[in-house]
Structure 1
Amino acid sequence: MKTLKEKQIEIPLQNLYPKNKFSFVDLFSGIGGFRIPLEELGGKCLAYSEIDQQAIKVYRQNFLNYLNDDEIELGDITKIDSFPSNVDLIVGGVPCQPWSVAGKLKGFDDPRGKLWFDVIRLVNKSQPKAFIFENVRGLASPTNRESFEYLLKQFESINYCVKWKLINSYDFGVPQSRERVFIVGIRNDLENALEYQFPEPVKYKQKLSDIIDEIKHCQPIKKVKLSSDILFNGQIPPSRNRFQKDDELNDFFIFSDLRNGHTTIHSWDLIKTTEKERLICLTILKNRRKKIYGGKDGNPLSYEILKELIPTLKEEELRILVDKNILKIIDNKYEFVNSKNSSGINNIYRIFLPNSEMICTLTATGTKDFIATVSISADNPQEYKKLFLEKIYKPRKFKPITAIDCSKLQGFPDWFKLHENESIAKKQFGNAVSIPAVLEITKQLIKLL
């Protein structure tokens, strides 16, 4: 007996919504993350705009053929003059780098940041019934808030009722934590312009093992409930996020010498070290960020300071840790070799277990994240870490995230043809919008239109 959800999945959305119910233009089209859900909902694409030739190649091989050879390729948005008339909806994932830390937060000082003004120009010129635009969460951050509010006012000034919300793809059925700002505008003269509401999260959730082929054999693990005393020595860290339960063991292991959670793997866990050496490392870890030792976020510590913290310490013990490539010397002070969190250890930052409900945000530049291919369970943190090292890390029972994995984590359908180059395909999915999120946001919109 199939569940209602399984039956719904079998029915193509194209059969639920009439063809050509509305028209749309796909700006910053990328590989088609907006187009797929809009066509499923009955939309007809009139034109698309993109300048990345590799993205255009994938877009054309998936969507363009003799049936729609009248579709317009608009090219560079800054050079668009002629634009389809009577378009119902304009959509697009506007380049996000100017508003992200990775893009150095240059905002409108970045040429890509100025592309918003071309978006506003085209919306003003064509006056579609509505629009949907997507960007990184940094656009609405306190750092960029003044610029963001200016953009919203510009849309309002050209006759639109504008609403925005920070949406996480995880809330719409994919096991990826991906927060993005979505901006929806409806033309003021339309009867329902003020009534749009962003969709509520869907009820069903998927785990990594539900969508990644190599781990579909892994059986679900029923996790043991544990007290905060066991997990955190009684003090729950404030940095924990919504995917980390306060009464359960984490669904991932993080490789870092700068943190010390119950699923943190340190460099001294991976090679043979003595109890005293581990004490030295943990002492440096716990004290390196204290302001009394310097103004940096992490400060090298001298032998004299460490001697005060560990009275039995001998300098030759520190030298041994240098020889083991765990510590390095900076101006006669000691710091971890692995002193950048995102760099991880041995080129690994995180390994997610098959039972995990999410993986962290896919990016165009890639991450050092992996997926375990076997499951483990334990009833205490010490056994959990021991099992991870013995059953997963040492025998290399984990896999990199492939382009096909990225496709599924972004909600792309099985029929979608990927770029033949693995690294280019992964970059494209890192830049793409999550299809299930667009689907639900647009469903709400076309009900009004």
Structure 2
Amino acid sequence: MNSNLPVVSLFSGAGGLDCAVERCGEPPLVHDNTGSPLRVAVATDYDETALQTLSLNFPHTKTLCGDIRDTSTSDILAAGGLSVGDPTLVVGGPPCTPFSKSGFWVEEKRNSSDPNASLLDDYVRVVRESKPEAFILENVQGLTYKTHKAQFDRLMAGLTAAGYNPTYKVLLAAEYGVPQLRRRVFVVGRRDGKKFHFPETTHSGESERDRIVDSSKLPFVSARTAFKGIKKEKLEDSEIVEGTYADLAAEVPPGQNYLWHTDRYGGKNVFRWRSRYWTFLLKLDPERPSTTLQAQPGPWVGPFHWSNVRNARGDIRARRLRISEMKRLMTFPDEFEFVGGKREAQRQLGNAVPVELGKVVIRSLMEQLGYMCAEQPSSVNGTQISLL
């Protein structure tokens, strides 16, 4: 197997998609770092700390820190020792803030006038000028909303004009074995004109939109299953939810949120119905996948762990998730290391692509390009894959 097919990574962050690139040949949820014909030759981002994390975990990858709008394609290729036409893939997820639901309270984002949306054009520019065999672009589902139609249409038109045939699909991470109800749009295109076919889902279960379960597929991976085998850690003060809503957060049952404390549920009648974001005082349901992990949560934003803890005074309190738990929800390898403190690590994780979701898309593309043999994934043979 050729292990030197070069990949250019844009908007790399801490390296979620990069991790998927270099592990795309591995069976689902198995991390032995031996199963990919691809290697990330060069990774770019404006976030120096995130790139330090990437370098720590991928020491062979050259990194280029800076604003993509001020970085030429030739400089990117040169950093990776590449020429035009050399890259097998260009991958990346331009910052999703302009298209994220959580930013819709800002008028310029609702109106799709956020200047950061132009970063899509720079992704197209690098694809056009570097001429990879194929590309993969990942972003939040909001990019496909009607409010962003102009940007999305321009993206697709630009990729088509560059000589590719882009196709897109919104994927639910839980349907591919990720223990998280995270929806992301993937745009994929091949230079040879052939259409990319998205992989079939392998898992089924209830989500916020779907109550119909396909019994022929594996059940969604639950948070409890994802956390199985994590080493016990000492409780830190920063993990304990204290402050204004501490008592209310502790009283919320697993799988519930602030709505528990409205006149329609069994808690205290404190909040008006649907007056807050869904993640406010949200606790994980141990028997279901997690909701989307937040990159920069406020003090009352979950998901919190389903089990309460006691503070130094003996008061019952909710507990914030640990980095080891967040890595499991994002299907990062346990050994993956982050530069920075806990808050910084969560920011990097929340902004990343779930590794298993990236793996299944990249693996499918590599099979269709002829670089990998199409094999029946071990996650769909009727046996649940172990997370250990």
Shared fold (TM-score, shorter chain, > 0.5):
yes
1:341 aligned residue: 276
Q: Which moved more, 1:176-185 or 1:74-83?
A: 74-83
Mapping of residues 256-335 of structure 1, within 5 Å: 256=259, 264-268=265-269, 326=270
Name the SS for the 2:159 alignment partner. helix
Q: How many residues of Structure 1 are paired with residues of Structure 2 in the alignment?
A: 301
Distance (Å, rounded) in 1 between the aligned partners of 2:20 and 2:159? 24
Distance (Å, rounded) in 1 between the aligned partners of 2:16 and 2:53? 12
State the shift of 1:211 in Å.
Answer: 1.9
State the shift of 1:399 in Å.
Answer: 2.9
What TM-score, normalized by structure 2, do the two folds share? 0.70
1:254 aligned residue: 257
Name the SS for the 1:372 alignment partner. coil
Distance (Å, rounded) in 2 between the aligned partners of 1:397 and 1:45? 43
2:8 aligned residue: 25
* Aligned residue identity for 2:289: M
Which has more helix, going by share of residues? 1
1:401 and 2:321 equivalent? yes
1:149 aligned residue: 153
For the aligned residue pairs, the C-alpha RMSD in angstroms reads 2.8
State the shift of 1:144 in Å.
Answer: 1.4
1:102 aligned residue: 102
Distance (Å, rounded) in 2 between the aligned partners of 1:94 and 1:130? 17
**Uncovered stretches (5+) of structure 2, i.e. residues with no partner:** 24-35, 204-217, 233-252, 309-313, 370-388
1:410–1:429: 8 Å Cα contact kept in structure 2?
yes
2:11–2:44: 8 Å Cα contact kept in structure 1?
yes
1:350 aligned residue: 282
Query: Alpha-carbon deviations, 1:386-420, whole Å to 9, x = none?
Result: xxxxxxxx984853212221111111011201234
Distance (Å, rounded) in 1 between the aligned partners of 2:41 and 2:231? 39
2:112–2:148: 8 Å Cα contact kept in structure 1?
no
2:67 aligned residue: 76
Distance (Å, rounded) in 1 between the aligned partners of 2:144 and 2:18? 25
Larger radius of gyration: 1
1:209–1:215: 8 Å Cα contact kept in structure 2?
no
Structure 1 counterpart of 2:223, from 184, 202, 208: 208
Distance (Å, rounded) in 1 between the aligned partners of 2:352 and 2:231? 25
1:114–1:159 distance in 2 versus 1, CA, 3 Å: same
* Aligned residue identity for 2:96: C
2:88 aligned residue: 88
2:100–2:142: 8 Å Cα contact kept in structure 1?
yes
State the shift of 1:352 in Å.
Answer: 2.3
State the shift of 1:101 in Å.
Answer: 3.3
Give percent identity, aligned residues only: 28
What TM-score, normalized by structure 1, do the two folds share? 0.61
State the shift of 1:179 in Å.
Answer: 0.3
2:20–2:358: 8 Å Cα contact kept in structure 1?
yes
State the shift of 1:57 in Å.
Answer: 1.6
* Aligned residue identity for 1:341: R
2:178–2:356: 8 Å Cα contact kept in structure 1?
yes
* Aligned residue identity for 1:359: S
Distance (Å, rounded) in 1 between the aligned partners of 2:91 and 2:304? 33
Distance (Å, rounded) in 2 between the aligned partners of 1:215 and 1:396? 23
State the shift of 1:358 in Å.
Answer: 1.0
Distance (Å, rounded) in 2 between the aligned partners of 1:397 and 1:258? 16
1:433 aligned residue: 353
1:365 and 2:293 equivalent? no
Q: Which moved more, 1:94-103 or 1:105-114?
A: 105-114
Mapping of residues 97-246 of structure 1, within 5 Å: 97-103=97-103, 104=106, 105=109, 109-187=113-191, 190=192, 193-203=193-203, 204=218, 205-213=220-228
Distance (Å, rounded) in 1 between the aligned partners of 2:224 and 2:176? 17
State the shift of 1:337 in Å.
Answer: 7.5
